[in-house]
């Protein structure tokens, strides 16, 4: 019943123009309704508030793009300890079939200080997965929740050992390097100078850094000289 109610709510808030807009950015995804992200987040919080979170987190009758986003957000918002939450996450992660579902899920999958090491260990198997979006999940989780003193170099080691070169893995890795440069420019520059990334990811990372308003023009020029041919 909860699944049917959520679907009705999504249909009620769908917008044709926004649907068309979204389809341009997620071209490999069908069944997009066109519901804006703030509404999806509010809906997920409403499900939690009504104590239906665990029920919807286990719902398998999902079809529309936004249903997967809401389910991921519900799992992220569940107020349970990590060992309980990981069971829901492990069931959900194989359902991720595009970058939007992945990144929205990672954004709300909060990591407490006491669980940080446990979550990092949890990500290990996803870094070495053959599945594009499982690897991206590990990368986006790392850049959103582990870009700190104790993990920055660990993240770069993981990026250097990626076995998957699918497009959205490459883009996620480039984004992680760019975020690293903003927060830890010296450490990240050393990594840029000597990394095992493929040429596309290496160059895309430099491009993303150069697109940032937080990097001065002189540094950008230097970084551009480090691009590979």
**What average pLDDT is seen over the chain?**
96
Mean pLDDT of all residues in 138-144: 98
How far apart (Å, rounded) are the C-alpha atoms in residues 84 and 24? Answer: 36
pLDDT of residue 130: 95
pLDDT of residue 28: 84
pLDDT of residue 208: 98
* pLDDT tens by residue, 145-198: 999 999 999 999 999 999 999 999 999 999 999 999 999 999 999 999 999 999
Mean pLDDT of all residues in 110-115: 92
Mean pLDDT of all residues in 44-55: 95
Q: HSE of 41 in the Cβ direction (CA atoms, 13 Å)?
A: 8
Q: Is residue 92 scored above 90 in pLDDT?
A: yes
pLDDT of residue 1: 76
Mean pLDDT of all residues in 18-47: 95
User: By the 8 A CB rule, do 33 and 14 touch?
Assistant: yes
Q: Is residue 86 scored above 80 in pLDDT?
A: yes
Name the one residue in this structure whose structure tokens are 């020029």: 221
Please give the span between the terminal C-alpha atoms of the chain, in angstroms, as a whole number. 56
* pLDDT tens by residue, 197-220: 999 999 999 999 999 999 999 999
Q: Is residue 83 scored above 90 in pLDDT?
A: yes
pLDDT of residue 27: 84
Secondary structure letter of residue 196 according to DSSP: -
Q: Residue 80: helix, strand or coil by DSSP?
A: coil
């Amino acid at each position: 019943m909860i699944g049917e109610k959520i679907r009705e709510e999504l249909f009620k808030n769908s917008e044709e123009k926004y649907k068309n807009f979204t389809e341009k950015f997620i071209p490999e995804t069908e069944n997009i309704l066109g519901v804006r992200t703030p509404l999806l987040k509010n809906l997920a919080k409403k499900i939690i508030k009504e104590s239906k979170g665990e029920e919807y987190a286990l719902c398998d009758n999902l079809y529309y793009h936004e249903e997967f986003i809401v389910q991921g957000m519900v799992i992220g918002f569940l107020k349970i300890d990590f060992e309980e939450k990981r069971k829901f996450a492990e069931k959900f992660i194989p359902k991720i079939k595009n970058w939007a579902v992945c990144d929205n899920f990672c954004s709300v999958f909060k990591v407490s200080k006491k669980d940080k090491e446990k979550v990092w260990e949890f990500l290990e198997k996803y870094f070495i997965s053959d599945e594009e979006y499982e690897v991206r999940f590990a990368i986006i989780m790392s850049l959103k929740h582990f870009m700190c003193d104790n993990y920055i170099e660990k993240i770069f080691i993981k990026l250097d050992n990626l076995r998957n070169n699918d497009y959205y893995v490459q883009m996620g890795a480039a984004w992680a390097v760019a975020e690293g440069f903003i927060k830890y420019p010296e450490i990240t520059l050393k990594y840029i100078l000597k990394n095992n990334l493929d040429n596309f990811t290496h160059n895309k990372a430099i491009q993303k850094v150069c697109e940032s308003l937080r990097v001065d023009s002189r540094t950008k020029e230097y970084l551009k000289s480090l691009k590979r041919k």
